[in-house]
């Protein structure tokens, strides 16, 4: 069955997806609406092979479960072909310049998704590629995850604007993208992190500017109780991300007061949603009682990576 795209959606074709700040509030709303539509129709058995004959190169310099499966299965369900490329599979891992990789792949594929360490690598890839480039994750940002997060909140709450989203933990790529994405959508985003682990000031300033336009609010604090009080959504992430394994013991000590537990979530609204990008370490950043409790929607959130990525692929490719 053909997929009817409206004019706003058609305007996204051929663009990169490096950061949510590159898209307007209306464009992000259209992405989420399309993701929800694709999910509904998939459950009804409706297929949309609109990317038949198209190929997506997927470069992984960081390992993955949800990112790889969502893009690979999503591309397949849209009729296209996903091509998995690890650092061991391509010359990029042996020192080939990113610009050369971009030029070569652009002549053979219809889109590139990359999951890597430095944001600069993604931006350079996009600069020299002639096909859309999607940021599957960097140390700075994780926009694909937050697209699925916003979709999940919309699915459960029926809206985004005016809701309070509290993130507790490391001021990392998740915190950064939640700040930007939430601010774009008119949400009240509160981030609580220890001193020395707060989100980057440049990202916070950008989020504050977006919030001023959308009617949202931004709060960055070291107090998790302040962040979570009256929250509609409570979010956390692991204390030590990939590449930070050597810091794990020190981080566990520093972040212990920032554990999302039953005492902390009691400060949120009674019908709060608990989100986590996964993988989760029960007993560390979150207790089993919270992540496996009645307010947790982490597995719906994980499934929505598939539908959000399908929307992204349908729009850009």
| CB environment 183-194: b (16+ within 10 A), e (fewer) | bbbbbbbbbbbb
Tokens 């470069």 sit on residue:
59
Domains of the chain: 12-35+44-141+305-316 (3.40.50.1370), 143-301 (3.40.50.1370)
Checking if the pLDDT of 93 tops 90, the result is: no
111 upstream amide cis, omega within 30 of 0: no
- pLDDT > 90 fraction of the chain, expressed in percent and rounded: 92
Is 61 a known active-site residue?
Answer: no
Task: Please provide the distance, in angstroms rounded to a whole number, between the alpha carbons at the two ends of the chain.
Answer: 17
Q: Is 144 labelled a binding residue?
A: yes
Nearest to 29, CA basis, from 314, 313, 236, 311? 311
Q: Is 230 labelled a binding residue?
A: no
Is 145 a known active-site residue?
Answer: yes
Q: Which residue among 61, 176, 305, 307 is the active-site one?
A: 305
Per-residue pLDDT, 1: 65
Q: Is 173 labelled a binding residue?
A: yes
Is 15 a known active-site residue?
Answer: no
Checking if the pLDDT of 92 tops 80, the result is: no
Is 269 a known active-site residue?
Answer: no
Contact assessment for residue 237 and residue 174, using Cβ atoms and an 8 Å cutoff: yes
Contact assessment for residue 251 and residue 240, using Cβ atoms and an 8 Å cutoff: yes
Q: Is 142 labelled a binding residue?
A: yes
Going through the chain in order, the beta strands assigned E by DSSP cover 55-60, 81-86, 111-115, 133-137, 164-168, 188-192, 217-221, 233-236, 273-276
Is 237 a known active-site residue?
Answer: yes
Is 300 a known active-site residue?
Answer: no
Q: Which tokens hold the place of 85?
A: 């490329």
Contact assessment for residue 152 and residue 185, using Cβ atoms and an 8 Å cutoff: no
Per-residue pLDDT, averaged over 153-167, amounts to 98
| Model pLDDT for residues 195-224, shown as the tens digit of each residue | 999 999 999 999 999 999 999 999 999 999
**The whole model's pTM is what?**
0.96
| Model pLDDT for residues 103-117, shown as the tens digit of each residue | 999 999 999 999 999
Measure the CA–CA gap between 51 and 151, rounded to whole angstroms.
22
Nearest to 137, CA basis, from 158, 150, 119? 119
């Amino acid at each position: 069955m053909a997929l009817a795209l409206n004019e706003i959606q058609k305007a996204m074709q051929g663009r990169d997806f490096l950061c949510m700040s590159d898209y307007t509030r209306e464009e992000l709303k259209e992405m989420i609406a399309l993701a929800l539509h694709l999910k509904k129709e998939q459950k009804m058995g409706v297929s949309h092979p609109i990317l038949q004959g198209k190929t997506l190169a997927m470069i992984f310099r960081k390992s993955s479960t949800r990112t790889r499966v969502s893009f690979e299965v999503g591309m397949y369900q849209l009729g296209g072909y996903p091509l998995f490329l690890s650092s061991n599979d391509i010359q990029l891992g042996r020192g080939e310049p990113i610009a050369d990789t971009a030029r070569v792949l652009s002549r053979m594929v219809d889109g590139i998704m990359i999951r890597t360490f430095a944001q600069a690598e993604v931006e350079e890839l996009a600069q020299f590629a002639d096909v859309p480039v999607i940021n599957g994750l960097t140390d700075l940002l994780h926009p694909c995850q937050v697209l699925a997060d916003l979709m999940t909140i919309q699915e459960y709450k029926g809206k985004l604007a005016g809701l309070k989203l509290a993130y507790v933990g490391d001021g990392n790529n998740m915190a950064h993208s939640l700040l930007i994405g939430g601010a774009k959508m008119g949400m009240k985003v509160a981030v609580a992190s220890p001193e020395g682990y707060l989100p980057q000031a440049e990202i916070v300033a950008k989020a504050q500017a977006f919030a001023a336009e959308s009617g949202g609010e931004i709060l960055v604090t070291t107090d998790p109780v302040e962040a979570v009080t009256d929250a509609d959504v409570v979010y956390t992430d692991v204390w030590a991300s990939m590449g930070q394994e050597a810091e794990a013991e020190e981080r566990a000590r520093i972040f212990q007061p920032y554990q999302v537990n039953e005492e902390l979530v009691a400060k949120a609204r009674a019908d709060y949603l608990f989100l986590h990008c996964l993988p989760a370490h029960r007993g560390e950043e979150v207790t089993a009682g919270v992540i496996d409790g009645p307010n947790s929607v982490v597995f719906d959130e994980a499934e929505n990576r598939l539908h959000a990525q399908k929307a992204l692929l349908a729009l850009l490719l």
